[in-house]
Structure 1
Amino acid sequence: MKRYTLVLMFLVVCPGILSAKEASDDPHNLFSKGNAFYERREYEKALEEYTKILNSDIESGPLYYDIGNAFFKMGKIGYAILAYKKAQKLITGDRDLKSNLAYAQSLTEDSALRLPPQNSLIWLIRLPFGDFNLNTVASILLASYLTLIILMVFGIMNPVFKTRASFPFYLALLLFLMTLANFSTRYYTEEALTHGITVVKESECKYEPIDKSTTYYTLKEGQEVLVLATRNGWRRVKRLDGKLAWVKKEAIEEI
């Protein structure tokens, strides 16, 4: 009788335990717990909760933003900039994010080594969609393309409609071309090129991927580079002033 009682108790209690565990692992609960730790200035515990969310293959701009804030409070400027940069891909136009990123970058020792200013044409191309992330721009591009196709089909089927719809057609064409140019330039810089952030205080960059090689220059925490290749524990990097070198893999985290 005792055996059956124990089995019955297990069947009743076990689902409750599993439900409680599932609730504790819910991303919203983890995010709330992380924020609570952050408010109590327990930044390492906050990062533990945020990391659990990332480990469940969930990403969001606000999540990376809060991760960046926690790293910044801990004095880890490199990791803070890395998180802010990841957030920027998802919430491009957020003003608080831009402000925090700019301030964190201003604290790096070699803050002058930044991305070169855009030329006037690139700036003009990106201006109308500056606050949209790449996925949103891709959606606008697809919508404008489908609108063009629909207008063309109706124009072929009905000459009267073609005459009346000439203005909407050229408007859709203009939107399509502008969005295509914006998407192309941003895809190249944000996706085709691999950017990385220096996450250690200082790292020597060598002419060759061996420890005994001559040091070419030194990267400081928070500096951004282009990652060209990774091989045998080394990364081939290009500094934003064009200088190429090899650096230890753990010194650079890809955005």
Structure 2
Amino acid sequence: MKQLLYILSFLFSVGLMAQNTAVFEQANALYNAGKYGDAIDKYKTILDTKNHSAELYFNLGNAHYKLNNIAPSIYYYEKALQLAPNDQDIKNNLAFAQNMTIDAIEVVPEAGLSKIVNNATNRMEFDGWAKVSIGFVFCFVILFLIYYFAYSSLRKRLTFLGSLVSLILMCVSLLFAFHKFNLDKKDKPAIVFAKEILVKNAPNNRSDESFRLHEGTKVQVLDTVSNWRKIKLQDGKTGWVSSEDIKAL
């Protein structure tokens, strides 16, 4: 019975994939014909099937950009960049879309040791650092065994030194892995979708206005209280906005 269910599930997945491919091609044809709104509707039917890809988000961003929909175009470019962080076309189109935003926010650059550590950590994902750690564990074990059974004093010294280096590198890669995990956990970006929002200094409508933001601006979500989100800008400013005014990435 289970085998039959697996077969049916596999056939359903194959059929759904073929259907999504056909819909994707139809959407591309609509986009090339200048029917951007219809293309968006087609692309979204693929998203409704829980099918995600950088190419799909990229095309959605392009279609919204053609319609001058600032916030959606930036949102979908950012989604595409999450799946393909090194794609230069996505980065270029995202930069074009960001040029349409109103808010000019200066980025506070990282400095010192924090910048060096974060740059090194972000060179790989958490899984990558974990695999590197496992690789150094194997190196340590193999070198230590060679050291233990070796008769030559020179070989013993070399393998002991190698095993010690492997152990140190394993610990370093583990630290990078956990640091990357914490960075990803704290990273909660969102895009402002409202035309203009009043950022409050407390999570209620009676509080004073801190500043204003406009559609397309990227923020970091720090906290949640009821229907309010505490946000932080790249220049360090913080405040509270309604959850309805932003869309989390």
TM-score range, shorter chain: 0.7 to 0.9
Please, which runs of 5 or more residues in structure 1 have no aligned partner? 1-18
Does the C-alpha gap of structure 1 residues 172 and 73 become closer, same or farther in structure 2, counting only changes over 3 Å?
A: farther
TM-score, normalization by structure 1: 0.74
1:224 corresponds, among 209, 218, 221, to 218
Match of 1:142?
Answer: 130
Equivalent position amino acid for 2:131 in 1: A
Whether the 8 Å contact between 1:205 and 1:247 is mirrored in structure 2 is yes
Partner secondary structure for residue 125 of structure 2: helix
User: Within 1, Cα distance between the matches of 2:226 and 2:31?
Assistant: 38
- Between stretches 136-145 and 61-70, larger displacement belongs to 136-145
Match of 1:177?
Answer: 172
User: Within 2, Cα distance between the matches of 1:73 and 1:120?
Assistant: 41
1:106 corresponds, among 99, 105, 129, to 99
User: Within 2, Cα distance between the matches of 1:244 and 1:93?
Assistant: 29
2:31 corresponds, among 27, 38, 55, to 38
Whether the 8 Å contact between 1:144 and 1:176 is mirrored in structure 2 is no
Q: Deviation string for 1:145-185 (max 9, x for gaps)?
A: 2221222222232224874696698479658836853x555
Match of 1:198?
Answer: 192
Give the drift of 1:253: 0.5
Match of 1:118?
Answer: 110
Partner secondary structure for residue 225 of structure 1: strand
Equivalent position amino acid for 1:31 in 2: F
Match of 2:20?
Answer: 27
Whether the 8 Å contact between 1:141 and 1:176 is mirrored in structure 2 is no
Establish whether residue 234 from structure 1 lines up as the match of residue 228 from structure 2. yes
2:146 corresponds, among 158, 163, 166, to 158
Give the drift of 1:186: 4.6
Match of 2:53?
Answer: 60
Equivalent position amino acid for 2:145 in 1: M
Partner secondary structure for residue 59 of structure 1: coil
Whether the 8 Å contact between 1:111 and 1:223 is mirrored in structure 2 is no
Aligned residues: 229
Q: What's the % identity of the aligned pairs? A: 27
Please, which runs of 5 or more residues in structure 2 have no aligned partner? 1-11
RMSD, aligned α-carbons = 3.1
Does the C-alpha gap of structure 1 residues 175 and 221 become closer, same or farther in structure 2, counting only changes over 3 Å?
A: farther
Q: Deviation string for 1:50-74 (max 9, x for gaps)?
A: 2122222222112111111111111
Whether the 8 Å contact between 2:129 and 2:174 is mirrored in structure 1 is yes
Partner secondary structure for residue 24 of structure 2: helix
Does the C-alpha gap of structure 1 residues 122 and 185 become closer, same or farther in structure 2, counting only changes over 3 Å?
A: farther
Whether the 8 Å contact between 2:75 and 2:191 is mirrored in structure 1 is yes
Match of 1:5?
Answer: none
